[in-house]
Amino acid sequence: MKTPSRIWLITGASKGVGQKLAKHLLEQGHRVAATSRTCASLTNVFGQASDAFLPLEVDLTDDRSVEKAVAQAVRTFGGIDVVVNNAGYAQQGTVEALSDEEIRQNFEVNFFAPVAVLRHALATLRAQRHGHIINIASIVGYQGGYAGWGSYAASKFALAGLTESLAAEVAEFGIHATVVYPGPVRTDFLSSGALAVAKRQIDDYSEAKASLDLHLGTLHGHQAGDPDRLAMLIIQAASVEKPPLHLFAGKIANELAVAKSMSVAKDLGAWKGSSEATDFMD
């Protein structure tokens, strides 16, 4: 049975998973409001604006720009059914090597930009009393034990935490929220032009350097995740009556999530007695 046409707002839709998602949605007859830093990067892929496609030039770190884009999407299509916060970038560098500016900018794009999108979209979703918010995190936003990726992992952990709290907030209005944890996906996400690397490196941190070399060398171009299939998984999750709050994507993501759960369970068991002894006795 064909899924009824819906209105989607997707950030970072000019490339990668966002582009694949917009492509499949348009092919299925949905309407898509897509954002990028330039309209040309969208129209070069999807063509000019139409009854089904609205390209939006947006600076996601500028609240006013985000507000105008969301308003234009609502005005053009009459509402929004699904919001996908997809835009983001990876930042590599040890905590000691990263500057305050580098960390804050990573959070501006990966966390505060999605917050701005939600702030301006939620009034419409709440008034409609339906909608679905999908925040694209990363498996490192659930299992963050990778040397040299602290800034990126922290921003994605923050997005995951926000999604969990948001799900509790908006349930009474018939709105769902899902955080997606993809494993490595075969896009240009790890290319030298897309990956931000700390301006200074500290040679003492061999694990962080080895991780960077692995991602830029061995892993880039050989990621297990298929962006088309990831896009179809997101569409599937948005089409069911009871969508998941946590959506892991790919075998690697599933394996790492299970390993994290086992590690937490082990620590809980080992420290249960000492932990519970911190409570008052009454």
Per-residue pLDDT averaged across 216-225, rounded?
62
SS3 239: helix
Residue 217: predicted pLDDT: 54
What is the arithmetic mean of pLDDT over 237-264? 96
* Mean pLDDT to the nearest integer, 15-39: 96
pLDDT score recorded for residue 218: 59
Q: Is 161 helix (H, G, I), strand (E, B) or coil?
A: helix
Phi-psi region of 65 (alpha: psi -120 to 50; beta: other; left: phi over 0): alpha
pLDDT over 90 percentage in the chain: 78
Q: Model confidence over 49-94: pLDDT tens digits?
A: 999 999 999 999 999 999 999 999 999 999 999 999 999 998 989 9
Burial of 280 (0-12, 13-18, 19+ CB in 10 A): exposed
* Between residues 8 and 215, the one the model is more confident about: 8
Query: pTM higher than 0.85 for the full model?
Result: yes
Contacts for 153 with CB less than 8 Å, ≥ 6 apart = 138, 140, 141, 144, 146
Cα-Cα-Cα-Cα dihedral of 27, 178, 150, 144, to 10°? -110
Does the structure show a pLDDT above 90 at 155?
yes
CA distance 213 to 21: 30
Distance CA 112, CA 106 (A): 9
Q: Six-digit token pair at 15?
A: 């490339």
Is residue 190's pLDDT more than 60? no
- For the chain, give the mean pLDDT: 91
User: Does 36 have pLDDT greater than 90?
Assistant: yes
Contact between 37 and 58 under an 8 Å Cβ cutoff? The reply is yes
Average pLDDT over residues 216-232: 74
Quote the CA–CA distance of 106 and 216 in Å, as a whole number. Answer: 19
Q: How many other C-beta atoms lie within 10 A of the C-beta of residue 83?
A: 28
pLDDT for 172: 97
Mean pLDDT of the region 259-266: 97
Domains of the chain: 7-263 (3.40.50.720)
